[in-house]
Structures are given as structure tokens and as C-alpha cells.
Amino acid sequence: MTGSPLVVVAIGTEAAHLRGLDVVLTGIGKVSAAVAVTRAIAEHRPSFVLNVGTAGALRDGFEGAHRIGRVLEHDVDHAFLRTLTGEDSIGEIVLDPGEPTTLATGDAFVSDPTVRLALAERAHLVDMEGFAVARACAAAEVECRMVKVVSDTASEDAARSWKAEADRTARLIAEVVAEHL
């Protein structure tokens, strides 16, 4: 038997306006997210996981909230590892083939224009936990839904923008959760 949906957010700042809900705070980065989500799924056996949080826009014009159709791990060379070891290495997960937005996940906060440009060839948005959440869900055979709210442009001004937009993005995250639960 499965339980109710599980809402997963990286940090308290992003969850600031989520009232009356049990929310799993994963912490920052892929390892923290994978551990927290794996533990939460084992404990709660949810009907699905809803991962919400902030993301940097890799392409101009991306604003607001975006449902993620595909998530990839951008800071691991999966093709090279597959060639080197002969073993499969999962580097992307399709969450919803009907959704066009791709999220790239890596353990570094992206604020370099050169990195942004390179990532924009493969994805629309970038974050630090999404792929790990999706991978943990896939391993546990639990549906993962993901919505990311644009907080910055993944450029040299990203850190200042993320901080300045924290309350606005947290309010939008709360609206997204209310809409998806």
C-alpha cells in the first residue's frame, strides 16, 4: 500500500511558505538529495514524489515555474564511463515525455557565462538536486514529478539574484505545490 504524495525541497528557504505539509528537506547537492529521498521513500512509501525548488535559467526568456520532462546529470561524463568500463551509466531520466523542459543537475552552483552557454545546448534549466531525486525515485519505482521555479539566469549575477528572489520564489513554490497536490 502506498501513502500520500511526498513533497521534496532542497532547503528551508525554498519551503518557507509551505504550510501544513510534511516536507522533506534534502539539503544541497546530489548526494544529500539522493540519501534524503531514498530514506523518505523507504519510510513513507509515497504514491509519488513532487520535487519543487529553484533553478537557474540557461536560456534567455525562461521565467516562472516549469514542469520538468527530462533531467540529466551534467557534471559526469556518462558516455566516457560507459566506454571505459563497458557498464551502463545512467545520465538522464525522462520524467514526462510530454513536457519539453530539460533540467541539468550538477553539484556546482552555475554562475559562469561559459558554463551556462555550454549547458544551454543540452538543457533549459540547471539545479543541484533534481537528477538525484529522480534517480532515487526510479530506483525505488516511485513516480517522480518535478517543477522548478526560475530564480536566476545562471550568470555572474546568479548568487545575488537567487538571494534577492528567495521570498518570491518560495511563494511561487507554494503555489506550485498547491496546484500539483
Delimit the domains of the chain by residue range.
6-175
- What pLDDT is recorded for position 174? 96
Contact 126, 74 (CB under 8 A): yes
Mean of all residue pLDDT scores within the chain: 93
Asked whether residue 5 carries a pLDDT value surpassing 50, the answer given is yes
- What pLDDT is recorded for position 1? 44
Cell numbers for 12, please give them.
528551508
Model confidence pLDDT, tens digit, residues 91-134: 899 999 999 999 999 999 999 999 999 999 999 999 999 999 99
Helix (H) or strand (E) holding 125: strand 125-127
3-state SS, residue 53: strand
pLDDT band at 139 (very low <50, low <70, confident <90, very high): very high
pTM of the predicted model as reported, rounded to 2 decimal places: 0.93
pLDDT band at 2 (very low <50, low <70, confident <90, very high): low
Query: Which CATH code is given to the segment(s) 6-175?
Result: 3.40.50.1580
In angstroms, the CA 4 to CA 26 distance is 18
In angstroms, the CA 133 to CA 114 distance is 26
Model confidence pLDDT, tens digit, residues 70-95: 999 988 877 887 888 888 878 899 99
